[in-house]
Amino acid sequence: MEFTAAHAAAGFRDAVRTRTYGMSSPTGGARFDSLCVAPPSPTGDGDPLVASIVQSTTFVRDGLESGAVHRYSRESNPTVAALERSLGRLEDALDALCFATGLAAETALILATARSGDHVVCSRAVYGGTTRLLRQVFADLGVDATFVDTTVPCEVANALRPETKLVFVETPSNPTLVLSDLREIAAIVRASRAILAVDNTFLTPVLQQPLELGAHVSVYSTTKFIEGHSVALGGALVTRDAALRERLFFLRKCTGAIQSPFQAWLTLNGLKTLPLRIERQSANAERVARWLAGHEDVAVVHHPSLPGFPQRQLADAQHRGGHGAVVSFELAGGQERARRLLRGVRLCRLAEHVGSVETLLTHSASMTHAAVPREERDALGISDALIRLSVGLEDPRDVIDDLAVAIAGSRACDAQEEVIRCAAAE
């Protein structure tokens, strides 16, 4: 099948398999893909193959001196802990901390690092919800944020102040897929008192390992690729810093932001197929991006795999064998054309989401980035015509056929309107 050859050529599986992980894991020195599938704890005779969900909100203690690990599920829960073990070992890190959503994880991270009077540096090209959280919630609590172009590392250096406690970078960025050089930024941030957090939602640890590149924390909306089937919300923070983890654990307990056991269980099951899904979806995205780039009606396409992608060298150095399943593009003809295309698709669906097994289209300006003022969206390249595509597991030829019909349909409307306009003018 074409998929196998394409992937072998891209070195996908070799790239993620060359590294062995901590011997302390129950699977010994197992490789990445095995760690995604392996149960979080060793299983013995008669144990269920698939970890059970522990829904109990509370746990019995022997007495007041009980050393029980789990006491109350707002603090910790065995099913959530199982997901945390699995996610942590994918980055050779401490057990992750899982949250109800990606934004709950980001909230805990900011609370853990910054207080009133402190300062945060954040990528300008970032998920709209992150911008909103910093501008409309933390600003009122006295945490100042500067948004900079992190694709230019010296902008990070210039924005650092003595009171900067957190540098938050998203790469590839949502939705224009510009890249920030994590090694360079980590060197800058590590020379200061701030910590570097990287939103790795789009690539996941399969295709990018922020901690290996020097970050202190990897941030995830597990709602996206990690769970992968659009059935569970979740967020995760992964770090090797024990003191930071302890503070995050405490804040999660205080704010009640932990993921529910059922959502964690769904995510654990999704994780088993993460390497396969993201590799295939990434390869499918490359194919769709190439097709879009060759289409006469398409004005702009963003995907790091494309030959003309301005940061191609960085993409190859920083990503592990693939560039992710998210593509964005604009049709010549602007917003109205985009609107018609979004109405015209059949297989692909319009939804505010990425990372699902279904191909989804998003209109970033009115959906994910609606909270970002228009002039800032324009400066970031998020025009009203920009469409974000999260390519799924369908045969990419069907995705292309669907887009081809929808693009042609939107053109026909152009022609019809032109006739109407001319008739009206006569």
199 an active-site residue?
Answer: yes
Contacts (Cβ under 8 Å, ≥6 apart) of 128: 174, 364, 368, 369, 370, 371, 372
| Residue 127 appears among annotated catalytic residues | yes
What does DSSP say about strands 298-302 and 119-123: parallel, antiparallel, or unpaired?
A: unpaired
Catalytic, 45? Answer no
Which residue's CB is nearer to ligand PLP, number 298 or number 351? Answer: 351
* Choice between 92 and 199, CB closer to ligand PLP: 199
Task: Report the residue from 84, 91, 92, 199 that binds ligand PLP according to the rule CB under 6 A.
Answer: 199
Q: Which of 94, 103, 159, 248 binds ligand PLP (CB under 6 A)?
A: 103
**Applying CB under 6 A, which part among 67-75, 100-108, 241-249, 403-411 lies near ligand PLP?**
100-108
3-state helix, strand, coil in the chain (%, to 5): 40, 15, 45
Q: Which amino acid is at 63?
A: G
**Cβ 269 to ligand PLP shortest distance, Å:** 18
Query: Which lies closer to ligand PLP via its Cβ, residue 201 or residue 218?
Result: 201
List the Cα angle 371/372/376 in 5-degree steps.
165
Catalytic residue, chosen from 92, 95, 181, 199, is: 199
Using CB under 6 A, which residues numbered 228 to 257 contact ligand PLP?
Answer: 233, 235
Tell me the window of 61-69, 72-80, 95-103, 265-273 that interacts with ligand PLP (CB under 6 A).
95-103
Q: Are strands 217-221 and 235-239 parallel, antiparallel or unpaired?
A: antiparallel
Pick between residue 72 and residue 262 the one whose CB is nearest to ligand PLP: 262
Residue nearest to ligand PLP according to CB distances in the complex: 102
Please provide residue 363's backbone torsions phi and psi, each rounded to the nearest 5 degrees.
-95, 100
Burial 227-243 (b: 16+ CB within 10 A, else e): bbebebbbbbbbbeeee
What secondary structure does DSSP assign to 80-122, as a single string? HHHHHHHHHHTTT-SPPEEESSHHHHHHHHHHHH--TT-EEEE
**Residue 107 contacts ligand PLP per CB under 6 A:** no
Cα(159)–Cα(127) distance, integer angstroms = 20
The footprint of ligand PLP on this chain (CB under 6 A) covers a number of residues equal to 13
Applying CB under 6 A, does 102 fall inside the site for ligand PLP? yes
- Nearer Cβ to ligand PLP (353/411): 353
**Which residue's CB is nearer to ligand PLP, number 127 or number 309?**
127
- Of 124 and 411, nearer to ligand PLP (C-beta) is 124
The whole-angstrom separation of Cα 162 and Cα 302 is 36
The 10 Å Cβ neighbour count of residue 280 is 22
| Cβ-based neighbours of 265, under 8 Å, separated by 6 or more | 51, 53, 79, 83
Q: How near is the Cβ of 423 to ligand PLP at its closest, in Å? A: 44
Residues 167-186: x/- map of binding to ligand PLP (CB under 6 A)?
---x---x------------
223 binds ligand PLP (CB under 6 A): yes
Q: x/- string (CB under 6 A) for ligand PLP, residues 126-165?
A: -x-x------------------------------------
Q: What CA–CA distance (Å, rounded) separates 131 from 92?
A: 29
The answer to whether the peptide bond before residue 48 is cis (omega within 30 degrees of 0) is no
Residue 420 has which token pair? 């109407």
Which one, 382 or 400, has the nearer CB to ligand PLP?
382
Site string for ligand PLP, 327-366 (x = CB under 6 A): ----------------------------------------
Considering the rule CB under 6 A, would residue 263 count as an interface residue with ligand PLP?
no
Does residue 201 belong to the site contacting ligand PLP (CB under 6 A)?
yes
For residue 32, state whether it binds ligand PLP (rule: CB under 6 A).
Answer: no
Neighbours of 308 (CB within 10 A): 7
Contacts of 411 (CB under 8 A, 6+ apart): 297, 333, 337
Residue of 74, 135, 287, 349 marked catalytic: 74
The number of residues in the chain equals 426
Question: Are the beta carbons of 279 and 17 closer than 8 angstroms?
Answer: no
Q: Which parts of 109-128 interact with ligand PLP (CB under 6 A)?
A: 127
Q: Which span (71-79, 101-109, 187-195, 397-405) binds ligand PLP, by CB under 6 A?
A: 101-109
Closest among 276, 265, 319 to 309, alpha carbons compared:
319
Beta carbon of residue 87, minimum distance to ligand PLP (angstroms, whole number): 14
Closest C-alpha to 349, from 360, 335, 340, 357: 360
Contacting positions for ligand PLP (CB under 6 A): 101-103, 127, 129, 170, 174, 199, 201, 221, 223, 233, 235
Residues recognised as catalytic: 74, 127, 199, 224
